[in-house]
Structure 1
Amino acid sequence: MKQLSDSLLKWRKEFPILEKTTYLISNSLGAMPRAVYNRMQEYADTWATRGVRAWGEEWWEMSVSVGDIIAPLIGAKANDISMHTNVSLLQAMLVSCFTFRGAKRNIVLSDLEFPSVLYVYQQFARSQGARLQILHSKDGISLPTEQVLAAINDDTLLVSMSHVLFKSAYIQDVKAITDKAHRHGAIVILDAYHSVGVIPVDVRRLGVDILVGGVLKWLCGGPGGAFLWIRPSLRRKLKPKITGWMAHKRPFAFETTMQYSTDATRFLTGTPSIPALYAIQEGPKIISRVGVGNIRKKSMRQTALLMEEAQKHGLGCMSPQNPEQRAGTVTVNVPHAYGVSRELLRRQILVDYREGAGIRLAPHFYNSDDEIISVILEIRQILDSKAYRKHPTRRGTIT
């Protein structure tokens, strides 16, 4: 197939792994920008030459200043985002802000959430008296908006939801759900891990109270870069029980009683991972320069192409057919999916296998149409030749 004219392919040179690999796993780990080498060298040089002085010169501020790079990508203002190590910890910090007494103690969420989120809320339900309303998907792909709306009432304290469901890339109607939640005095926590960087996100237009996400995936920022935005008027009222000295109003006074800061540092804990804060900056910068609108336009076209090619070769898809409801990933229902995924990896085609979700293919702005067509042909060839038999059926710890 002749590659369509694609101005975004000029960015391929910024990602070293693309030189020898077909990289279709940005929903799990985005490709590393070449400039990260320089940022990590800068970290090492700073530590080596400035030592402890680096805290006063830059490091202390980085938990918020790095968040300013993320802010335009979610429609937030400067100084309103704090950086953290992972979203699991953020979810626990957030739920620790609330007391679950009386009738208003329901938490609405679904069985399509990332399991780590479910684990956090299950433990708080057991220990703190929260009442979980776990909504069940009928098709394993989507959760009808009407089903979510029906679960929200005056007893609802929190609605915890993903903007994009991780197994299927289904985009939830956040605005409708948020509007209903607010009419009943509930707070909405939006997990935007699978949306920021591949579909437009604007916290104010969506009306959410709290947004969590990370740079690991579509933002190409690597591990250790979760971020938190809280509506400022709400942030000043929340008192996380999971906290630390960096959240104190006067951290270097070393007082023995907690007094929370009023700005974005209110949700910090202990000493941050400074190396990660250096590394994670370059990916979001590139995403901003490319433009999420441009990325979304290409993503809609390439995910449609993936589904078309899969159907042509007798493979079903567990992703929304409606492009307006589909984010950046196409889940292909492949027989012998684990073995097929291992054979693809052997062939330098990086894809994502998840138990119960088949093979997930996630083209990003740096992928070509030829790669989209080729991966489906490779899957078909592996199935027809039974090349998947080369690989043990026993799963490794990491799949």
Structure 2
Amino acid sequence: MDTTLSAVRAEFPILEKCTYLNSNSTGAFPRGMEAVFQRYSQTLLNWRDEAWEGWWADWLGYMDAVARFINGAPGSVVTDTNLTTLLGRLATCFDYQSPRNRVVTTDLEFPTVPFLWKGFGRYGAEAVVVPSENGRMDEERLCAAIDERTLLVSLAHASFATGALVDLAPVLKRAREVGALVIVDAYQSVGAVPIDVEALGVDFLLGGAHKWMCGSTESAFLYVRPALLSSLRPAATGWIAGENPLNFEPARDWANTARRLASGTPAVLPSQLSRVGLELLAQVGMPTIRAHSLRCTARVMERAEEAGLTVVTPRQDSRRAGVVALRFQGDAEVARRMVARGFICSYRGALRVAPHFYNTLEEVDRFMDALVAEARREKA
């Protein structure tokens, strides 16, 4: 582990108490969050309305910091409490009238996505679900489903269950050929995999802070390609989406930034908390984080295969994000026992191991020693 990563590791107190490899579920919280809580508490205990001036600046600053992190332009990101809220609000910007009313998605999406598009069926949206093979998406099959009837393509960059990555480039190319827009759910990849929205040319990208970005559980974000902003007329916004909300006059128009997709009074504490982890990620840099992640996940797969455990996650570096999913006899019970022993992982149809930039290869080996022993005990 290089010196930069070693220094950052000291910022995560939970690592002193357990072996934490659960970042795909909830990232470790940095100790700098404590000062944010204390500052927020003091502000409330000594309340003056002037606090909103600082809070407003903090919120706008965090959104632009997220934009920089994914190489987006200032004003291209808006935050809210969760991805579902933002995706639903974005979905109200479109007319689902035949013949261009199809929403192409996959069977690998987090439950939010199919649930939401099913709901928009009442407004004319027709969901086209492309099936996966062995938990992985065939991009050729996905592209074949995108045609002139497609209004939107809505897909996950990385599978929440296995960490399998989708190659976005051919999907974006095909969508542009037929005039469709692409919505990428990057909740399971941002912070573990470098993402450059400008280079990709992605239309919309959603993510959240509480996994690989080491932030608050109530902080999701939506990136909008700037050229699209003026065309978006959301039906479910609040007063903060107005062009000048702090004058408290009746809203005449939406903001000319991604803030037009905001709701009501913003959740300022989650953005303040999430800024701490984001700054640590930016300090280390995504190339370093990605290289370390690939080393750690490769070690997990190597140790698992040696022990005869089934690795569900793709082996190729370019095809996996930050988590390794394993299946074997009694895997759910083994996951429970591992957590009870202080080896923190999670189970979602498979046992998931998710080292991050604050973990070491030695930790990975300790975890895998315990996991292999528990798996053999379960099989015996």
TM-score (norm: length of structure 2) = 0.96
Question: What is the CA–CA distance in structure 1 between the aligned matches of 2:248 and 2:185, rounded to whole Å?
Answer: 34
1:9, 1:365 within 8 Å by CA — same for their partners in 2?
Answer: no
Residue number in structure 2 paired with 1:396: none
Structure 2 stretches lacking a partner, 5+ long: none
Following superposition of structure 1 onto structure 2, how do residues 162-173 of structure 1 map, counting pairs within 5 Å?
162-173=156-167
Aligned partner of 1:340 in structure 2 is: 334
The answer on whether the counterparts of 2:242 and 2:251 sit within 8 Å (CA) in structure 1 is no
Q: Tell me whether 376-385 or 237-246 shows the greater mean CA deviation.
A: 376-385
Deviation at 1:83, TM superposition (A): 1.4
User: AA paired with 2:366?
Assistant: S
Do 2:330 and 2:378's aligned partners in 1 also have CA atoms closer than 8 Å?
A: no
For 1:322-373, what per-residue CA distance to the aligned partner results, in whole angstroms no more than 9, with x for missing partners?
Answer: 111111100011321221111111111110111x2x1010000111112212
Q: How many angstroms apart in 2 are the aligned matches of 1:78 and 1:249?
A: 16
Partners of 2:246 and 2:339 lie apart in 1 by 50
Give the length in aligned residue pairs.
380
Instruction: Measure, in 2, the Cα distance between the counterparts of 1:88 and 1:138.
Output: 26
Question: 2 CA distance for matches of 1:383 and 1:223?
Answer: 31
Equivalent residue runs for 1:230-379 within 5 Å: 230-252=224-246, 259-354=253-348, 356=349, 358-379=350-371
Choose which of 71, 81, 88 in structure 2 pairs with 1:85: 81
Whether the 8 Å CA contact 1:219–1:283 is kept in 2: the answer is yes
Instruction: State the SS of the aligned residue for 2:371.
Output: helix
Amino acid at match of 2:6: L
Aligned letter for 2:359?
A: N
Give the whole-Å Cα distance in 2 for the aligned partners of 1:258 and 1:89: 23
Paired residue for 2:134, among 136, 139, 149?
139
Give the drift of 1:222.
2.1
Q: Compared with structure 1, are the counterparts of its residues 253 and 320 closer, same or farther at alpha carbon in structure 2 (3 Å cutoff)?
A: same
Q: Where do residues 57-206 of structure 1 align in structure 2 (5 Å cutoff)?
A: 57-125=53-121, 127-140=122-135, 142-206=136-200
Q: Percent identity?
A: 36
Query: Does the 8 Å CA contact 1:310/1:376 hold for their aligned counterparts?
Result: yes
Structure 1 stretch displaced more, 289-298 or 76-85: 76-85
Q: Give per-residue Cα distances to partners, 1:160-186, cap 9 Å, x unaligned.
A: 111112111111111211111011110
Task: Quote the offset at 1:78 in angstroms.
Answer: 2.4
The residue type equivalent to 1:91 in the other structure is L
CA distance in 1, matches of 2:114, 2:61: 31
SS at match of 2:41: helix
Task: Report what 2:37 is aligned to.
Answer: 40
Structure 1 equivalent of residue 20 of structure 2: 23
TM-aligned CA deviation for residue 264 of structure 1: 2.4
AA of the residue aligned to 1:276: P
Residue identity opposite 2:27 in structure 1: G
The alignment partner of 2:25 has SS state of coil
Q: Deviations over 1:256-297 (max 9, x none)?
A: 666222122201111122221221110010000011100101
Q: CA separation of 1:257/1:220 partners in 2, compared to 1, >3 Å: closer, same or farther?
A: closer
Q: Deviations over 1:100-133 (max 9, x none)?
A: 11200010000101111111111111x1111111
Shift of 1:59: 1.6
Query: Structure 1 residues 258 and 139 mapped into 2: Cα distance closer, same or farther (>3 Å)?
Result: farther
User: Structure 1 residues 206, 271: CA separation in 2 closer, same or farther (over 3 Å shift)?
Assistant: same
Question: What are the superposed Cα offsets for residues 143-173 of structure 1, whole Å, 9 maximum, x if unpaired?
Answer: 0110111011111000011111211111111
Kindly state the Cα deviation for residue 89 of structure 1 after the two structures are TM-superposed: 0.7
